Structure 1
Amino acid sequence: MSGRFAPSPTGRLHLGNLRTALLAWLAARSRGLEFIVRMEDLDRVQSEPEHERVQLADLAAIGVDWSGAVVRQSERFDLYRDALATLRSRDLLYECFCSRREVRAEIENSPNAPHLPPGSYPGICRRLTAERRRQLLDGGRTPALRLRADRSMEREDEAVLIEFTDLVCGHSDGGVDDVVLQRNDGVPAYNLAVVVDDALQGVTQVVRGDDLLASTPRQIHLQHLLGLPTPTYAHVPLVMGTDGERLSKRHGSVSLDELQAEGQTVRDVVRALLSSSGTEVGDDDGPSTALEQVASVFDIGRIRDEPSVYEGLVDGQMTFR
């Protein structure tokens, strides 16, 4: 049984990433769970070994340690394809030839049903004729693979609705659309890979940003279809910039080394990040010692449940509101 942190090695970890890693580590340690790190490096363009090296160094610096070797999704394609084969054997997959532009246009003309998340796939390729499919293949179109989400229901047009209890957000629910499980370049999609990896790595508790809350019903449905266990979920608030946009590697990113260059110690950063989530750190020296003490009384369900806005350094102090 374990918790985990699973970043994408596409750049340095920003403050939001670092805070989520700290909260995930504390949540695991507070329940006596192991903690693992996985690299979700399915992005072949942006993922780089140097980004991975720096991310792991930053995690170690703030006191986040982990068990075992770091797993990389790019090395596990056979496992994901086994899962696809299982779904295909039950006629739960179909080929989709749509471009993103075509999907966007269809969504604009056909608003989603109220139970489905924004941007849900409207089922354009679900009922392609054999002739039309052959025309698309002959024209050089390479298909992605989508889940036939409602095939497991009593009626095929019956909506799939998933309910679950989140340790931070409370009761949550959402519909499941025909999500992509393999892209048209042959790369397994995130929603499939994360489900397979969490099960095979013994992950029983997932702490991650609440921007992924809407993806959770899809993942729980896949777990059910594949006969895999469902972990406990805790979706934590994001760190935002002063413009109201969430921090990302391409927007408002502030990294550990940049803060150190401004005179902040690693301990300053850890204290500020945890304080911004409503978690206070004691006065012992060193981030690792302080984190162990916090873990003994930590409760993920009691963290601040609103986004924090990072305002920068004010009078030499990291400031959030």
Structure 2
Amino acid sequence: MTTSSKYVGRLAPSPTGLLHLGHARTFLIAQQRAHAAGGKLWLRDEDLDLQRARAEYAVAMREDLHWLGITWQQEMRQSDRLPAYRTAMQQLVAAGRVYKCSCSRKDLLSAMAAPHEDSDDEPVYNGRCRVADPAHLLEENANYRFRVNDDEPVEFVDLAAGPQRFICGCAVERSDFGDFLVWRKDGLPSYQLACVVDDAAMHITEVVRGRDLLKSTARQLLLQRALGLTTPQYFHCELMRDDNGIRLAKRHDALSLRTLRLSGISVAELRARLEL
């Protein structure tokens, strides 16, 4: 674990629903690690999903975090940072690392929100729109994919989950992920691109998040290298699941922090439930 006073972590909720127990556990761990390192935390409002983001959820997530006793020193809102994402995308275009893609709307929508390994992680792309010559201009009303190197291993050591190794490429039968969406024709970046641009701008030294995002970390490492950005350390927490073994999601309203608060549970009882 980083022990420098320069430790910088972040909380990155999206205002598309109420926070649940899984969020609480991850964010409390993030705060514990920041405090142990004598560092600070950012709150990043990941509000780029314009179809589902709601102002009332943005208010609720801040209230629920404060109720948990979680504090942060600085804030960022992604919807304020579109010029920074476009600049990064233009850099990828100029370097010949992306190409236009005309695949289905379903694939494109899956790239807007943080993917989840056990349910709707972006599928391995088979390279249908790959062309010999990469794009050299960022065109309006066009979707773009980042071109990975076929059969390239992407490796990193996670501070919680240990050594990780993923193979990228468009050979569906042997790859963990393929060319992935970085830009949508509506002028918005994918989760992967926005995440690496923001982590660099915030000088994040350690990312604490769920293990459903391990594969996303591999994608983000490739983007960091292509953009010349520094790579933080990663700590991927175990996922919380319901009584049926299903990963908690915002659809689990009975386990939302707001519902639990209204039921009268105390923060101490909640922390005991989370084994923190």
TM-score when normalising by structure 1 = 0.72
Residue 102 of structure 1: how far off its partner (Å): 8.4
Residues 1:46 and 1:118: Cα distance change in structure 2 (over 3 Å): closer
Matching residue of 1:171? 163
Partner SS state of residue 240, structure 1: coil
Query: Percent identity, aligned pairs only?
Result: 40
Q: Tell whether the 8 Å contact from 1:15 to 1:253 is kept in structure 2 after alignment.
A: no
Q: Distance in 2 between matches of 1:128 and 1:187?
A: 25
Alignment of 1:86-97 (within 5 A): 86-97=91-102
Residue type matched to 1:24 in 2? A
Residue type matched to 1:191 in 2? Q
Matching residue of 2:115? none
Coordinate RMSD, CA, aligned: 2.4
Residue 24 of structure 1: how far off its partner (Å): 0.9
Matching residue of 1:18? 24
After TM superposition, the structure 1 stretch with the greater mean CA deviation from structure 2, 190-199 or 257-266, is 257-266
Q: Distance in 2 between matches of 1:272 and 1:30?
A: 22
Matching residue of 1:257? 258
Q: Does 1:51 align with 2:57?
A: yes
Q: Distance in 1 between matches of 2:19 and 2:83?
A: 29
Q: Tell whether the 8 Å contact from 1:24 to 1:207 is kept in structure 2 after alignment.
A: yes
Greater than 4 Å deviation, 4+ residue runs:
100-103
Matching residue of 1:29? 35
Largest Rg, 1 or 2: 1
Residue type matched to 2:167 in 1? G
Partner SS state of residue 214, structure 2: helix
Q: Distance in 1 between matches of 2:94 and 2:261?
A: 53
Q: Distance in 1 between matches of 2:22 and 2:126?
A: 33
Q: 2:126 aligns with which of 122, 128, 134?
A: 122
Residue 146 of structure 1: how far off its partner (Å): 0.7
Alignment of 1:221-240 (within 5 A): 221-240=222-241
| Residues 64-88 of structure 1: per-residue CA shift (max 9 Å, x gap) | 10012x2111110110110011111
Q: Distance in 2 between matches of 1:101 and 1:47?
A: 18
Q: Distance in 2 between matches of 1:214 and 1:18?
A: 22
Q: Tell whether the 8 Å contact from 1:80 to 1:188 is kept in structure 2 after alignment.
A: yes
Residue 52 of structure 1: how far off its partner (Å): 0.8
Matching residue of 1:183? 184
Alignment of 1:59-70 (within 5 A): 59-68=65-74, 70=75
Structure 2 residue ranges without an equivalent (≥5):
1-6, 109-120, 169-177
Residue type matched to 1:41 in 2? D
Residue 53 of structure 1: how far off its partner (Å): 0.9
Alignment of 1:195-210 (within 5 A): 195-210=196-211
Matching residue of 2:81? 76
Partner SS state of residue 205, structure 2: strand
Matching residue of 2:147? 148
Residues 1:175 and 1:184: Cα distance change in structure 2 (over 3 Å): farther
Matching residue of 1:290? none
Residue 243 of structure 1: how far off its partner (Å): 1.7
| Residues 9-58 of structure 1: per-residue CA shift (max 9 Å, x gap) | 11110010111110111111111221111011110011112111110111
- What is the aligned residue count? 246
Q: Does 1:159 align with 2:151?
A: yes
Q: Tell whether the 8 Å contact from 1:4 to 1:203 is kept in structure 2 after alignment.
A: yes
Q: Distance in 1 between matches of 2:123 and 2:182?
A: 16
Q: Distance in 2 between matches of 1:149 and 1:11?
A: 33
Residue 238 of structure 1: how far off its partner (Å): 1.1
Q: Tell whether the 8 Å contact from 2:253 to 2:259 is kept in structure 1 after alignment.
A: no
Residues 1:39 and 1:2: Cα distance change in structure 2 (over 3 Å): same
Residue 128 of structure 1: how far off its partner (Å): 7.7
After TM superposition, the structure 1 stretch with the greater mean CA deviation from structure 2, 119-128 or 40-49, is 119-128
Residue type matched to 2:16 in 1? T
